Amino acid sequence: MTFRDIVPILVLISLLAFVPVFVTANTVLNFLVFTLIIALAAQGWNILGGFGGQFSFGHAAFFGTGAYVAALLQVRLGFNPWVAFAIGAVAGAAVGWMIGYLSFRSGLRGSYFALVTLAFAEVLRILANAAAFTGGAAGVLIKLDVRPENFQFESRAAFFWIALALVGATLVLTRWIERSRFGAQLVAVRENEAAAKALGVDTLRVKLGAITLSGAVTAAAGCLYAQYFLYVDANIAYGTWISVEAILAPIVGGLGTVFGPLVGAVALHGLGEITKLAAGSVPGIDLMVFGGLLVVAVAFAPDGILGLLRRLRRPVQTSGAARHA
């Protein structure tokens, strides 16, 4: 990977960094921070599902682990929140490696792997909901102490910039995967695992690397969620909602692409908010929009929004070339 490969990422992140300068409304900043958290989780899923073809229905296992570890280390053990954040991401990577080792060593793939990840997430949700150390059903409330060294800020813009920096870092990571030997092996496993193994690719190592990275990135999203909202419980941390969100954003934006999860997260939540404003207080209207958008994406844009834009641009380029011929 060269510097030229990450120039578009740096330009995009630099432009987005100016948003809080022009938009100061807390409601808008809340929306943007939450969307970036979802984009971060979706980028984690995309590493495993989009590039590696290992579809997971249980990324809540990583998100929840990050959120709970970050919160509990602060509340129960008095850790500095920044340190707790880093440990939470590492814990997510460890859970990812464990789930991957147990699943891939057993030869699970496809729908079997997806169901196993869903089962792990549900088991962790039940344990977190029942254990006294995690606060049980009451959850964990992080003490309000607004200081930068305590990872709490008076302005929501600070959280926006931190979330944006994390998303930018994962964009660079996925660009590296896209350009690296590891990424080529990962795509080979996605396309034909048996053929990849016959060519000498250590498929177990490659898939373990992918799920470990995926777990770390998704756990970082969970850590940021806990730190932003200062509360976490089992249904939030390990709920199916985050697994669904992490899957939908890459599918809508573009599977196996660098910018797909970010584009998908913005499209889903942007359209959801517009629909809620237009429809008023109709319960579940945003979920109906998510479902409808997913059906449309699968039916008319199987490569996602980015794939659709590429197809629409291609005839224009072709016709332009024909005119100059």
Exposure class string for 215-229: b at 16+ Cβ within 10 A, else e: bbbbbbbbbbbbbbe
Q: Is the pLDDT of residue 137 over 50?
A: yes
- The per-residue pLDDT for 97 is 96
Confidence of residue 30 (pLDDT cuts 50, 70, 90): very high
pLDDT of 282 reads: 66
Instruction: Please indicate whether residue 305 or residue 302 has the higher confidence score (pLDDT).
Output: 305
Residue with tokens 């249904």: 235
**Which three-class secondary structure state does DSSP give residue 10?**
helix
Flag whether pLDDT at 275 surpasses 80: no
Q: Is the pLDDT of residue 320 over 90?
A: no
> Closest by alpha carbon to 185, among 197, 172, 173, 171?
197
Over residues 217-222, the mean pLDDT reads 97
Which of 152-166, 188-202, 216-230, 287-301 is predicted with the least confidence, judged by mean pLDDT? 287-301
Domain ranges of the chain: 3-240
Q: Please, where are the H alpha helices in the chain?
A: 3-16, 19-22, 26-45, 60-75, 81-105, 111-130, 156-179, 181-191, 193-198, 203-229, 234-237, 240-253, 260-279, 285-300, 304-324
pLDDT of the residue at 141: 94
Instruction: Please name the helix (run of DSSP H) or strand (run of DSSP E) that holds residue 232, with its range, or none.
Output: strand 231-232
Reported as a single tens digit per residue, the pLDDT across 161-214 is: 999 999 999 999 999 999 999 999 999 999 999 999 998 999 999 999 999 999
CB 128 within 8 A of CB 239: no
Q: Give the CA-trace dihedral at 59, 63, 69, 72, to 10 degrees.
A: -120
Residue 283: the pLDDT is 66
C-beta separation of 65 from 92 below 8 A: yes
Q: What is the mean pLDDT of residues 96-116?
A: 92
Token duo for residue 176: 């590296």
Q: What string of DSSP letters covers 234-282?
A: HHHHS-HHHHHHHHHHHHHH-TT-SSHHHHHHHHHHHHHHHHHHHH-S-
Q: Which of 12-26, 114-128, 138-152, 277-291 has the lowest mean pLDDT?
A: 277-291
Q: 11-25, 89-103, 280-294: which has the minimum mean pLDDT? A: 280-294
Q: Determine the average pLDDT of the residues in 290-294.
A: 72
Whether residue 45 has pLDDT greater than 70: yes
pLDDT interval class at 315 (50, 70, 90):
low
Range 123-133 average pLDDT? 93
**Could you tell me which residue, 284 or 137, shows the higher pLDDT?**
137
What angle (nearest 5°) sits at the alpha carbon of residue 320, between those of residues 317 and 325? Answer: 125
Residues 9/168, Cβ–Cβ less than 8 Å: yes
Res 321: pLDDT: 46
| Token code pair at residue 315 | 């005839």
Sequence-distant (≥ 6) Cβ neighbours of residue 2 within 8 angstroms: none
For residue 298, pLDDT beyond 80:
no
**What is the per-residue pLDDT for 206?**
95
pLDDT of residue 284: 65
What's the whole-number average pLDDT of the chain? Answer: 89
pLDDT at 295: 77
